[in-house]
């Protein structure tokens, strides 16, 4: 029997009516002859509340207990969804991660899949169950403790199940009707894309477009899962939404296909560090050990014999998620106290955001950076840090200009036009 994976995000299961609405979509696919694996998120706002409770209890919390608390939101919706389907006459059963089991690494808070054995769920399908409702975002570590996959992780659960069960497609139902040229909440001119290449989606997601979790796109690309984003609030059919697919399935390709932003960034500068071989390793190793996700890095041109510093000194600036600033600060202070690095000051700027343009067309076109910087200059927006790759350019700017920058770039690259 053909199988579909259908994932419903937080707003799509925000209350009992919405769960019923999602269940009707599942029922329709069952009536069309599919076995369905439904992946559910926690009700909207619930995961934030759970995270808040953890942080309110312990500042540098034990990640195992964070996972124990934060994974619970999905358990509730899985059970409710199974109950709703049963009420509608659809044979359904819920599964928490450990019951499948969804085996992951022991990296609590950002665990990765190791294996998803099919046996337990297949046995129930063989008995006549039509829908397996699986709690997204969670798994179980080798030692049996509950893990979570990182925020937005239910998308990744969905793609992993689609790969493991050879699903015909993986449908991600959410509160927008597809992937847009930029977040439709920020720009009224954002345009829905019928198709987007895996590589572009991967960059957009990793640069902040939270419509899909980055890992989910990576997995879909690796296992060639047909991945679709569509609305849970509208009537949908096999052609709705946005298909995330291989580059060669896409006819038109613009130089820039999307603009992404990430609001919760911070910039940290180590002022006057000595400039010598090994200094970068001495700075970034302790940050990595502390679990800080360093993103952009700039090192200033060195100055010689600067004031009372003999030899060359430099400033080292890096960006990281704003909620990791305290970890980063502690890692640097500990490294300084241990004599591994020396610096005069650690300056933190928590009022920054990252804005990026993405497009596979950049591989073969020049002038994208110039156009981007011109558009920002015309709005008087100062660029603090720049990073580029083959298909993206990112800038760090003052957060108060973030929305303006997104709109200006959307205009500059004429993304509202097909
Ligand atoms: P869910 O709870 O269903 O997982 P998310 O809130 O995680 O939903 O993701 C959907 C949101 O992603 C949309 O409401 C939208 O604001 C945001 N988003 C950001 N960038 C984009 C984009 N390029 N296209 C569509 N949505 C985007
Ligand atoms: N509930 C989790 C979160 O809010 C996972 C998800 O919704 O994908 O991050
Ligand atoms: Mg999400």
pLDDT exceeds cutoff 90 at 184? yes
pLDDT digits (tens, 9 = 90+) for 186-226: 999 999 999 999 999 999 999 999 999 999 999 999 999 99
pLDDT digits (tens, 9 = 90+) for 264-312: 999 999 999 988 889 999 999 999 999 899 999 998 876 655 556 667 8
pLDDT exceeds cutoff 80 at 133? yes
Band of residue 418 on the pLDDT scale cut at 50, 70, 90: confident
- pLDDT score at 292: 95
* Pocket perturbation via mutation, ligand 2, pick of 11, 22, 41, 45 by most ligand atoms within 8 A of CB: 41
What is the 155 CA–ligand 3 centroid distance (Å)?
7
Closest C-alpha to ligand 2, atom 9: 151
Of the candidates 288, 271, 268, 284, the one whose C-alpha atom is nearest the C-alpha of residue 351 is 268
pLDDT digits (tens, 9 = 90+) for 79-113: 999 999 999 999 999 999 999 999 999 999 999 99
- pLDDT score at 290: 93
- pLDDT score at 304: 57
What is the 244 CA–ligand 1 centroid distance (Å)?
15
pLDDT digits (tens, 9 = 90+) for 25-84: 999 999 999 999 999 999 999 999 999 999 999 988 999 999 999 999 999 999 999 999
CA–CA gap between residue 101 and residue 99 (Å, rounded): 5
What is the secondary structure of 231-294 as a DSSP string? Answer: ESSS---TT-SEEEE-GGG-S---S--EEEEEEEEEEEEEEEEE--TTHHHHHHHHHHHTT---
What is the 205 CA–ligand 1 centroid distance (Å)?
10
Q: Give the distance between the most distant pair of CA atoms in the chain.
A: 79
Give mean pLDDT, residues 6-25. Answer: 98
* Ligand 2 atom at minimal distance to the Cα of residue 155: 8
* Pocket perturbation via mutation, ligand 2, pick of 154, 159, 214 by most ligand atoms within 8 A of CB: 154
Closest C-alpha to ligand 2, atom 5: 152
At 260, give phi and psi (nearest 5°).
-120, 160
CA–CA gap between residue 79 and residue 96 (Å, rounded): 9
* Pocket perturbation via mutation, ligand 2, pick of 78, 137, 170 by most ligand atoms within 8 A of CB: 137
Binding residues for substrate: 47, 74
- pLDDT score at 305: 57
N- to C-terminal Cα separation, the chain: 38
The whole-chain average pLDDT of the chain stands at: 95
Helix (H, G, I), strand (E, B) or coil at 175: coil
pLDDT exceeds cutoff 80 at 393? yes
pLDDT digits (tens, 9 = 90+) for 358-386: 999 898 888 999 999 999 999 999 999 99
Q: Which residues line ligand 1 (CB under 6 A)?
A: 9-12, 41, 152, 174-176, 179-180, 182-185, 204, 209-211, 258
- pLDDT score at 216: 98
The CATH number for 3-175, chosen from 1.10.8.640, 3.20.20.140, 3.40.1160.10, 3.30.565.10, is: 3.40.1160.10
CB-based contact 149:108 (threshold 8 Å): no
Query: Which bound ligand lies closest to the C-alpha atom of 190?
Result: 1
What is the 31 CA–ligand 2 centroid distance (Å)?
29
């Amino acid at each position: 029997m053909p199988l579909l994976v259908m994932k419903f995000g937080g707003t799509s299961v925000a209350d009992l009516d919405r769960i019923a609405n999602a269940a009707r979509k599942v029922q329709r696919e069952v009536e069309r002859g599919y076995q369905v694996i439904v992946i559910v998120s926690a009700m909207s706002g619930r995961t934030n509340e759970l995270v808040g409770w953890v942080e309110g209890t312990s500042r540098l919390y034990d990640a195992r207990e964070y996972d124990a608390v934060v994974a619970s939101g999905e358990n509730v919706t899985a059970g409710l969804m199974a109950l709703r389907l049963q009420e509608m006459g659809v044979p359904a059963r819920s599964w928490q991660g450990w019951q499948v089991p969804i085996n992951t690494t022991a990296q609590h808070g950002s665990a990765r899949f190791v294996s998803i054995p099919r046996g337990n769920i297949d046995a129930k399908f063989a008995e006549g169950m039509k829908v397996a409702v699986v709690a997204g975002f969670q798994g179980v570590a080798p030692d049996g403790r509950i893990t979570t996959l990182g925020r937005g992780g239910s998308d990744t659960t969905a793609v992993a199940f689609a790969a493991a069960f050879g699903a015909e497609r993986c449908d991600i139902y959410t509160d927008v009707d597809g992937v847009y040229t930029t977040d439709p909440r920020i720009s009224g001119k954002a345009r829905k894309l019928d198709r987007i290449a895996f590589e572009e989606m991967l960059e957009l997601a990793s640069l902040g477009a939270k419509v899909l979790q980055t890992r989910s796109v990576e997995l879909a690309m690796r296992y060639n899962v047909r991945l679709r984003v569509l609305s849970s609030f509208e009537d949908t059919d096999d052609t709705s939404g946005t298909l995330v697919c291989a580059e060669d399935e896409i006819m038109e390709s613009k130089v820039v296909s999307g603009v992404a932003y990430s609001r919760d960034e911070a910039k940290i500068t180590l002022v006057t560090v000595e400039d010598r071989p090994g200094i970068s390793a001495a700075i970034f190793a302790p940050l990595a050990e502390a679990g800080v996700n360093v993103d952009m890095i700039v090192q200033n041109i060195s100055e010689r014999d600067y004031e009372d510093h003999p030899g060359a000194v430099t400033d080292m600036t890096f960006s990281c998620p704003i909620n990791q600033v305290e970890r980063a600060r502690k890692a640097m202070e500990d490294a300084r106290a241990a004599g591994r690095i020396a610096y005069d000051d650690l300056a933190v700027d928590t009022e920054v955001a990252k804005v990026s343009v993405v497009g596979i067309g950049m591989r073969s076109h020049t002038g994208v950076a110039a156009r981007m910087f011109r558009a920002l200059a015309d709005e008087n927006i100062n660029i603090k840090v720049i990073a580029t790759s083959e298909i993206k350019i990112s800038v760090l700017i003052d957060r108060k200009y973030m929305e303006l920058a997104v709109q200006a770039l959307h205009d500059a690259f004429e993304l509202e036009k097909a």
